[in-house]
Structure 1
């Protein structure tokens, strides 16, 4: 089995996903009242980050956690509907070159995986019909049909991606040497090193340096 791993934020989607989510919550006709709850919960961590008292990773985790908590009291149907609205607007900005590449890889019988820190309902709505064999993202927990705001939130990020990938494929024979991975960020370096054909997509400076040093494929004109 050959595998193709795709990052989302900055790779398939060229913008910062969280900023897009923040703007949609602020302006959404039905859910914009949630925005003040998000800000109230997130503000202390954000200001701590600006004062260099809180690490960036912790700040990013708190941002997503605060976002979920702003939907306290809402049903799964409501939350899925909100993410479907966001996905509809984001869909026009996906990188078509990579979407075409996914179709090509599917035709070549690759097992194609989307692995991201973005929320699962957003990813599932955004890529419905695209053909991913497996989608990994940050889970939103429910108690019955209502948001379970007491469950611990876990952001899928960096090394956690590797743990999930290895767990998913532990009983499968994977041809890693002829597998591919696509990402824009140095935080995904271990995911890129896992395969024999890594691809740096409009990479940040750190990843660009590594990709050039290792003679990896680099995509910039997308």
Structure 2
């Protein structure tokens, strides 16, 4: 089995996802009241990061955690409604050539995976009908009452964690990694790109650009 792995933030979607999410929360007609709660949760970590007391990775995890904690007490249907609204807006800016590439890979019998640190409800709403065989993202946890659970530690899917999830998912499967593909814009996904025989750097950051050029990987810089 051949697989095709797609990153989301900066790859399928050309902008910084979290900034888009922040703007939507701040301006959403129904849920904008949650924005102050988000700021209250996130501010200590953000200022710690600005003072170089908190690592960037920890700050990014806390940003997503604070975001979903701002919905504390809300139900799954509330979360799905909100992320569906966000997805409707974001869908206009997805990179169409890559969506077409996904369709072609499906026709060519690739097992196509979307793997991202973004929230799963957002990814599922955004790519409904696209045809991904498997979607990996950051989980929103709910308690027994069906409300957002603030007691379960939030896990951001990032870097090496992506590889762990992929290997667990494909455990027992015979994967033709040499003829598989992976698409990403960031050096943080280097291990994912190195996992396959056909890595593709999509509008890569400078570090990934250098590695891609050195290894003669395919680079897509224009859409």
Fold in common (TM above 0.5): yes
In the alignment, which residue of structure 2 is the partner of 1:205?
Answer: 206
Q: CA deviation at 1:18?
A: 0.1
* Aligned equivalents of 2:132, 2:159: Cα separation in 1: 20
Q: CA deviation at 1:9?
A: 0.2
In the alignment, which residue of structure 2 is the partner of 1:82?
Answer: 82
Using the size of structure 1 for normalisation, the TM-score is: 0.99
In the alignment, which residue of structure 2 is the partner of 1:33?
Answer: 33
Q: CA deviation at 1:61?
A: 0.2
- Deviation per CA, 1:143-190: give whole Å up to 9, x if none: 131111111100000000000000000111100000000000000000
In the alignment, which residue of structure 1 is the partner of 2:111?
Answer: 111
Q: CA deviation at 1:101?
A: 0.2
In the alignment, which residue of structure 2 is the partner of 1:219?
Answer: 220
5+ long unaligned stretches in structure 1: none
Q: CA deviation at 1:139?
A: 0.1
* Aligned equivalents of 1:38, 1:143: Cα separation in 2: 20
Structure 1 moving runs of 4+ over 3 Å: none
Q: State the superposition RMSD in angstroms.
A: 0.4
In the alignment, which residue of structure 1 is the partner of 2:162?
Answer: 161
Please give the secondary structure, in 1, of the residue aligned with 2:219. Answer: strand
Corresponding pairs, count = 222
* Aligned equivalents of 1:35, 1:186: Cα separation in 2: 31
Using the size of structure 2 for normalisation, the TM-score is: 0.99
- Deviation per CA, 1:103-133: give whole Å up to 9, x if none: 0000000000000000000000000000000
In the alignment, which residue of structure 1 is the partner of 2:192?
Answer: 191
In the alignment, which residue of structure 2 is the partner of 1:45?
Answer: 45
* Aligned equivalents of 2:45, 2:147: Cα separation in 1: 26
* Aligned equivalents of 1:53, 1:141: Cα separation in 2: 29
